[in-house]
Structure 1
């Protein structure tokens, strides 16, 4: 979608150049950079790529018509809602679209075309992983698909080694970790939550920190450790053992969808190239 929006923005920009003045938009040591110069540079930088993508899209949509491919309107609506949900509200979403010359209808049209093209590749290349193929993929990757061990941690973070050493001495003397973090941590969120950072799965922490915290027993804490722009002390509250992956119905559907998407990504350029060879394409200069 990003490339499509860039190309549409260029069309909108260059479309207004016929009557636009050659206005200056920047000065570099007194040297002018004109709006027209910027749009020309962008046009030459992106137009060939954008045109190529539009040709492929047109050919693939023609093939969709030939194969009588359909798309799922509910899936299209879900994708649209997922895009718009990333914004504060509907107005902000539409303002961002308007800034690049788009409307919600344009986005819905793009999503529809994307789904039609995906389904065209699936139909043209007969992409439909069998249960046996999904099971084989699961067996090859089940170590990555299971839930890793996780540790519920509290963290006390300060900016200097001296502060960290003082906090460690206080803990050694019996200070309550949660209260000390709420008083001494320089991070506001840690203070509010009394240092509670929840469960952290194995593999998400820096190796040296992970090795140390996962070697603790519940109730124990680390010595001061360098983290980011300061120093941290971690306390292990509890450990949650990992769970091996099980190939249930939900995971099977998820894996199959992922395999289909990967196959579509691989086969789409092949199909587009094949359609180009059969098509009559004229570039009008």
Structure 2
């Protein structure tokens, strides 16, 4: 927001009581005199609720959790405003080409439909414009909001992230030893003195180390989808399609080519069917039983899983192995760097908040 606009907003806020009330009704917070608009908050909370409805829909039936989500969304907007203001004080600049590139990156997300199928440039542009309209934005306002986000991001990059030193090898080894000791203990109890967040991170790291050290196979897949409520006729047609593809493979057809042409999993189809490594104990039982009994290069008959019929091919097999520090060194370094960065970011933002004047006007749910 320009200085002239900020002065205008302050003038309106200091005007007659009725004018001040009208302004506050359209805001959810005021940060150092700058309003955070209700429309911007609604955009962010709608996006957050949509994400939760797809990933953890049952959680949205918990009023307390929804209220925490509403409050945390507001706090994120306040933090963003504080970062933008600090970026302006630090004279952070976003070049026009940086903004153009960020716009292009966002528009590129509209070049595929919800199923991953490519759209024409015209249809992609229509989808992009529809998204803007749905959020109540015109193109110029969209660019201005994106510019503010880029400023906040660059402020974090230049004033926090670049100033965090990399971890030492001793720190990396100490954390690796902590992970392996936790795995070896077989216990779910955390080391004494460890916070809840640190414990969650340790469990996640231990799970990843266990998975990457477990027996694993690399798999390619051709998927013929089936809806959970598919009729018997639909199931027969899907099986017939999968069996026809298997016959082509048995006749010498190229697996990757058929995956690109016929698989109904767009993401893996684009990679010739590659779905990456399958770890023992992680995959669905029917899939796990098949791939761990197959030899490298072998192709399965159609296998029914909860999402449809899969034709699988094993391309690599690796036996279980003892975790070794050198194998995880780079990942540990990246993780510890991120931990240090987030701690410094918390301190940086807290300092901004301590010096700020913040009013909150979050409307009732």
> Normalized per residue, which structure has more helix?
2
Rounded to whole Å, the distance in 1 between the matches of 2:304 and 2:355 is 62
SS at match of 1:149: strand
The CA deviation at 1:86 is 0.5
Q: Taking structure 2 as the reference length, what is the TM-score of the superposition?
A: 0.42
Rounded to whole Å, the distance in 2 between the matches of 1:267 and 1:215 is 49
1:56-98 deviation digits (Å, cap 9, x = unpaired)? 34444455566x4857868766554432220235744355335
Counterparts in 2 of 1:201 and 1:84: CA distance versus 1, 3 Å: same
Matches of residues 212-227 of structure 1 in structure 2 within 5 Å?
212-218=290-296, 222=300, 225-227=303-305
- Alignment size in residue pairs: 229
Q: Which residues of structure 1 form unaligned runs of 5+?
A: 14-43, 182-187
| 8 A contact 1:63–1:120 mirrored in 2 | no
Rounded to whole Å, the distance in 2 between the matches of 1:258 and 1:72 is 28
Residue of 266, 277, 300 corresponding to 1:201: 277
Question: Does residue 116 of the first structure (1) align with residue 155 of the second (2)?
Answer: yes
Rounded to whole Å, the distance in 1 between the matches of 2:353 and 2:41 is 28
The CA deviation at 1:9 is 6.3
Q: Taking structure 1 as the reference length, what is the TM-score of the superposition?
A: 0.50
The CA deviation at 1:211 is 2.9
Q: Which residues of structure 2 form unaligned runs of 5+?
A: 1-27, 29-35, 43-66, 112-120, 180-204, 227-233, 254-260
Rounded to whole Å, the distance in 2 between the matches of 1:163 and 1:60 is 53
Select the structure with the greater relative contact order (CA < 8 A; seq sep ≥ 6). Answer: 2
| 8 A contact 1:150–1:240 mirrored in 2 | yes
Which residue in the other structure is 2:33 paired with?
none
Deviates more, 1:85-94 or 1:130-139: 130-139
Rounded to whole Å, the distance in 2 between the matches of 1:79 and 1:247 is 37
Rounded to whole Å, the distance in 1 between the matches of 2:99 and 2:170 is 28
Question: Does residue 150 of the first structure (1) align with residue 218 of the second (2)?
Answer: yes
| 8 A contact 1:61–1:113 mirrored in 2 | yes
Question: Does residue 103 of the first structure (1) align with residue 142 of the second (2)?
Answer: yes
Residue of 130, 142, 145 corresponding to 2:167: 130
Which residue in the other structure is 1:10 paired with?
39
The CA deviation at 1:209 is 1.3
Counterparts in 2 of 1:162 and 1:156: CA distance versus 1, 3 Å: closer
Counterparts in 2 of 1:265 and 1:219: CA distance versus 1, 3 Å: closer
Rounded to whole Å, the distance in 2 between the matches of 1:239 and 1:150 is 5
The CA deviation at 1:150 is 0.9
Query: How big is the alpha-carbon RMSD for the aligned residues of Structure 1 and Structure 2?
Result: 5.7
Which residue in the other structure is 1:240 paired with?
316
SS at match of 1:85: helix
Rounded to whole Å, the distance in 2 between the matches of 1:95 and 1:81 is 16
The CA deviation at 1:149 is 3.3
Matches of residues 26-175 of structure 1 in structure 2 within 5 Å?
52-64=75-87, 68=90, 70=92, 79-88=102-111, 89=121, 91-92=125-126, 93-98=128-133, 99-101=135-137, 102-122=141-161, 126-132=163-169, 135-136=172-173, 143=209, 149-152=217-220, 160=235
Counterparts in 2 of 1:8 and 1:46: CA distance versus 1, 3 Å: farther
Rounded to whole Å, the distance in 2 between the matches of 1:62 and 1:150 is 49
| 8 A contact 2:99–2:146 mirrored in 1 | no
| 8 A contact 1:219–1:235 mirrored in 2 | no
